[in-house]
């Protein structure tokens, strides 16, 4: 697709040609074609997925790479929109962004309000604590009286741990607080995360200890999400996922960011 200059776009719109093509291309594709920009929602604290380095502001991660690939295929300028798991549904429904590309877990409640592509990653839940912690040394230590278990607000760990914990105290961490700071301050004893986010601490700090469950715990597929009501746009994004799975771009990006073990092929 060749990007149209604004003059050409305005002329086509006036002639009704873009509107006539909307039934074939869908509302969102017509809009992004007219604007020349693809707006991609990301969570900029998601290490390995869509992470903004605090010191430089530079973005990196598998979905930063793949968003560039998607924009290139569509011949559009790429704009990243900061979002979060808590704001995701609102941001998509309000057209603040055209697609969410930050490893969105396919939770039943999200699937009722959003449309998802085929999954491209899958991760279970892990725990992170301090090395040498006297409170949590292994998975079986987590759900015990007096243990404070942190979860990030809006992540899929929040409802899962709310249902799972019987004796430990669940602590929901909300921005601007982070699970790492809460753990470092002693306000929580352990926090729950997924495989991508755990890599951040293991790669960046020496004090973190990863607690792995004895068997996969609540593995969840991750996909890209769009708002309901535009099947043509969903098919376009899903087709992109299918292509990067088949031609090796997904696996190559996953290897760059230490995520090859959770790729769905």
Which residues does the chain have with pLDDT short of 50? Answer: 1-24
The answer for residues whose C-beta is within 8 angstroms of residue 49's C-beta and 6 or more apart is 43, 61, 62, 63, 102, 103, 196, 257
**Which pLDDT does position 25 carry in this prediction?**
58
pTM for this one?
0.77
* One domain, residues 162 and 191: yes
Q: What is the pLDDT of the chain when averaged over all its residues?
A: 90
CA-based end-to-end distance of the chain: 28
* Cα–Cα distance for residue pair 102/97, rounded to 1 Å: 13
Residue 216: inside a domain, yes or no? no
* Domain that includes residue 230, residue range: 6-122+221-262
* One domain, residues 118 and 229: yes
How many domains does one find in the chain?
A: 2
Distances (CA, A) of 265 to 119, 121, 220: 9, 9, 15
Residue 10: inside a domain, yes or no? yes
* Cα–Cα distance for residue pair 34/32, rounded to 1 Å: 5
Distances (CA, A) of 122 to 13, 177, 203, 257: 42, 26, 20, 15
**Which pLDDT does position 34 carry in this prediction?**
95
* Cα–Cα distance for residue pair 210/212, rounded to 1 Å: 6
**DSSP sequence for 153-215:** TTSTHHHHHHHH-SSSEEEEE-TT--HHHHHHHTS-SEEEEEHHHHHHHHHH-SSEEEE--SS
The answer for residues whose C-beta is within 8 angstroms of residue 130's C-beta and 6 or more apart is 183, 207, 208, 209
CATH of the domain at 129: 3.40.190.10
Whether 248 contacts 110, CB under 8 Å: no
* One domain, residues 158 and 55: no
Q: Tell me which DSSP letter residue 8 carries.
A: H
* One domain, residues 19 and 113: yes
Kindly tell me the burial class for residue 118, based on how many C-beta atoms sit within 10 Å of its own C-beta (0-12, 13-18, 19 or more).
Answer: middle
Q: What does the pLDDT look like over 70-106, one tens digit per residue?
A: 999 999 999 999 999 989 999 999 999 999 999 999 9
* One domain, residues 160 and 134: yes
**Which pLDDT does position 239 carry in this prediction?**
98
């Amino acid at each position: 697709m060749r990007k149209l200059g604004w003059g050409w776009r305005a002329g086509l719109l006036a002639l009704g040609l873009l509107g006539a093509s909307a039934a074939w291309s869908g509302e969102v594709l017509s809009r992004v074609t007219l604007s020349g920009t693809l707006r991609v929602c990301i969570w900029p604290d998601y290490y390995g997925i869509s992470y903004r380095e605090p010191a430089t502001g530079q973005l990196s991660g598998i979905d930063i790479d793949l968003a560039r690939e998607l924009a290139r295929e569509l011949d559009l300028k790429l704009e990243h929109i900061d979002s979060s798991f808590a704001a995701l549904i609102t941001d998509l429904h309000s057209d603040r962004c055209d697609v969410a590309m930050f490893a969105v877990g396919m939770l039943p409640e999200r699937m009722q309000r959003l449309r998802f592509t085929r999954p491209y990653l899958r991760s279970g839940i892990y725990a992170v604590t301090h090395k040498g912690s006297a409170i949590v040394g292994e998975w079986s230590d987590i759900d015990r009286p007096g243990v404070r278990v942190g979860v990030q607000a809006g992540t899929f760990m929040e409802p899962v741990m709310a249902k799972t914990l019987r004796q430990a105290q669940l602590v929901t961490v909300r921005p601007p607080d982070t699970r790492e700071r809460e753990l470092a301050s002693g306000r929580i004893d352990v926090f729950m995360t997924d495989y991508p986010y755990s890599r951040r601490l293991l790669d960046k700090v020496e004090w973190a200890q990863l607690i792995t469950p004895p068997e996969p715990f609540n593995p969840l597929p991750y996909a890209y999400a769009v708002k309901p009501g535009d099947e043509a746009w969903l098919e376009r994004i899903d087709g992109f996922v299918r292509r990067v799975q088949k031609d090796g771009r997904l696996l190559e990006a996953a290897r760059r960011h230490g995520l090859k073990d959770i790729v769905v092929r």
